[in-house]
Each structure stands twice: as structure tokens, then as C-alpha cells.
Structure 1
């Protein structure tokens, strides 16, 4: 059913938390996996008032770091017996992901989302935008980050 799975990663542990499910799906369907990271100019917008070379250098450093993360993640998938590749794009994340999935073509987009927060209500999350605009099925895995029951310093005599 699925022969090519696209997995957007942003360098966070949350984004990578989808990978165990992707491994299972890819093995079950004998699918290849493509990892994608989309670099955004907004990531360095705060540097716009500096010399253009600072922006260019920072974008280059972010791209190199992202490519390193993508290579490492792809190698981990290959070690698990999967056919894996990666791609780095620059642009608007949701738009680039949807366009790449259609162009490749991919049968499934699989991504993790935290699915909450005030910013998501106002701006919408990348996952929500991908799910709304993709022309292929989208698997969203909601990751709930554990919160400590008792904050540090709340216990009497505690640290």
C-alpha cells in the first residue's frame, strides 16, 4: 500500500519520535523512507539588520547542521534494514513538504506533532497545514511531553 513515506524532521526530539512507527510501517509495506528538513529564512530574520554575510553564513551553518542530522537519521534507518534517503529544502515548511510529497511522489507523510499551544491556535502548526493541504494521506502522531508532578523546590527541605 505505501511504497514511499515522507518524514518531515526539524531537528527536534519530538519530530524524531515518529521514527519507530515509520520503521514498522516501512518494514510492513517494504517502503522506502525519505526524510525532509525545510530551512526557513525566518529562522535568521533577527539577523537581517546585520551584514548580509552574517545572514548567509548563519543560513549555511543551519543547513550543514540540518544535513548532518538528516544523514544520521537516514543511517539509523538503513541500519534497521530500510531504504532511506534525505533532502534539505529552503522555504515555507508546510508548503515545501506538501510540494515535495506530490513531486516525489510519496504515498504517505508521517510526522509528529505536539498539537497544542496558543501559537498553534493563532498561526496553525506545520502539521495542521500539511494535513490540510496534502494530496496524500498524512499520519500525525501526537506526542505528549511528560510534565513533572512536583516542580523542583516545591517539597519542604527539598532541592
Structure 2
């Protein structure tokens, strides 16, 4: 079927009446950032799935990269050829994915990729940026490509990172959504978005808490009293964490959604990374910050680890987004112990 495509530099929000679709937990449209690599094409079906679920517009964005300034001026004719080629490229991708039932915008901007993506998304009030973990530079075992890394460090709002290792697919359906929680209101702030996606995709929510092993200062072998204390803390943490997850599970289940809880102990970072694979999660949804909530870094230690190590698509809510910014005013319904910092 013919695609419905609009090349635009204007508002990224699709023109829909407020009565036609309810407001999305992530305000604004979805933009999928693409370079010319085949790896970046994997981003489109994931961005489309979220745009569909949130009843948001989808824009395919390509940055025509400007080389650093040199003594040799750009050839105007050559640059015009590159510009036309870029527009043809992004239109073709949109035509392959869209149809008359799903509107796709396209935009080509010029400059440095991460800088222009953030600037355009901010100016257009985009709610979610989708990008591949690697692009023209090729795939690596786990490290982020330059553009993805800079977006994590500098952008605000929701960011969807699609690993280069995910399978090619024309259409993506999320069936299992993994949501790490550490008891903080900031970590819980993603629940509105997660439940919306679960409802629209008919997916199961997996609420997860990892209990860190308590540490005692050791200058020699632990004494009997120390071992008893450590065991008591572990039992107490498990009890409180289970009650905490169950309260949230029951509240979400009242909405008619499939939801389960997963409670593990051990290293928080490694456990979450393994859990996403073991539970066959299609998407991990989490806040960039949790209990630690450090203002001097873009992501907490747990989120930073998953950003660079997970093989599962990761939807991370960065500081300054609509979902995350309201977290500080919300109270959690119970708090698990320990220092599992997201």
C-alpha cells in the first residue's frame, strides 16, 4: 500500500484529535534516528511499535554529517548531491514501512549527529528518541557507538536504545516487559509508561527487584554474631522487598494487566543483565536514576551498566522527561532495603 509520508521540519506531533487517542505518558512524538548503515534500520520497527502503542507520530530523522572545518571549502555541487541523496534515502525507508493507516514523517538535518538530534528533538518537543547502539562505525561486543553515547550523556526525555545484535524484523511486538525497581519514586516513575505499553501491546509486565548482598566491614573472618547479623539482614530485605513488589503488582493487576514479580539477590548490575536474557524480555524499561539520583551524571551506575551491556532493547527515561520529572513529588508505596542504585 502507498505510504503516508510527510517531509517536514515542523512539529513532530502527529495531527490527531485529543478525543481520538488518550494522552501518552511520554508527551510528544517518536523520532527514529538513522544513518546509512544496515544496523540502524533495526531501529525502525521498534520505534514504530512504541509509536503505535502510544498513539504518537513517528519521524525518521537522518543527519547529513558536516565534516570538521578544513582549509578546503565544500564543493556546493557535491554537497547538493549528498543532500538530495539523503532525502531520497530517508523517504525510501519511510515508504517501505508506512501505509495509509500509519503516518510517517521524514526529516534531514545537517551538522554533527548527536548535537543535531538533541536540538531537533528539543525544538519539536519529541517525547522519545530511538537510536541504534551502533551505526556506521559498526558493531562491537557491548560498547556504545559515538552517537548513542553522546545522546545518553546530553539528551533529556525517553531514549530507546536498540542493540545491533537484535534480530531483523519488519514488525515488532513486545510480549514481556522487564521493569527494574529499587523502591525509589524515580524508578517507579516509569510504571505509567510501562503499563501503557503493556496494555497496548498485550504484554506481560515483569516487576523486578535485585537485593544486593549486605556488606559488613571485615578485617578478618566473620564472627558468629556477624554471620547471624548478615543472615538476619538478608531475610529482612527479602521480606520487605517481596511485600513492596506485591503491593505494586496488585495495583497494576487491578487494571486487568498480566503482571508478575521477580525477586533475586546478588550483584544488581549483572543480575539484571542476565535476567533480561533468562526471562526472554523483549524490552527493558527503567529510569536512568533510582535511589542514588546523582545530579552530576546522566545515568546511575546500574543504568550505565545496562546501557553498554544489555543485548535487549532498553527504554531508559533520562532526567528532565515528563515521566521522570514528576517522580520527586510522588511517594512510593513501600521501600525495599539495601542500596540497589539504578
TM-score interval for Structure 1 and Structure 2 normalised by the shorter chain: 0.7 to 0.9
**Aligned partner of residue 11 in structure 1, secondary structure:** coil
Correspondence for 1:78 among 253, 261, 266? 253
- 8 Å CA contact retained: 1:39, 1:89: yes
- 8 Å CA contact retained: 2:294, 2:300: no
Correspondence for 1:18 among 190, 202, 205? 190
Partners in 2 of 1:140 and 1:20 — Cα distance?
Answer: 13
Partners in 1 of 2:328 and 2:241 — Cα distance?
Answer: 26
Matched, 1:140 2:312: no
Matched, 1:105 2:280: yes
Q: Per-residue deviation at 1:90?
A: 0.8
The equivalences for 1:22-101 within 5 A come to 22-41=194-213, 44-46=214-216, 51-101=226-276
Partners in 2 of 1:10 and 1:103 — Cα distance?
Answer: 20
Matched, 1:126 2:296: no
Partners in 1 of 2:191 and 2:182 — Cα distance?
Answer: 13
Q: Per-residue deviation at 1:98?
A: 1.2
- 8 Å CA contact retained: 2:285, 2:315: yes
Equivalenced residues, count? 143
**Aligned partner of residue 179 in structure 2, secondary structure:** strand
Which protein shows a greater Rg? Answer: 2
Query: Unaligned stretches of 5+ in structure 1?
Result: 148-159
Query: Unaligned stretches of 5+ in structure 2?
Result: 1-172, 319-323, 330-342
TM-superposition CA deviations, 1:93-142 (whole Å, max 9, x none) = 12111111101101000001237445x58x96101111211111001112
Which structure exhibits the higher relative contact order, with contacts defined as CA atoms closer than 8 Å and separated by 6 or more residues? 1
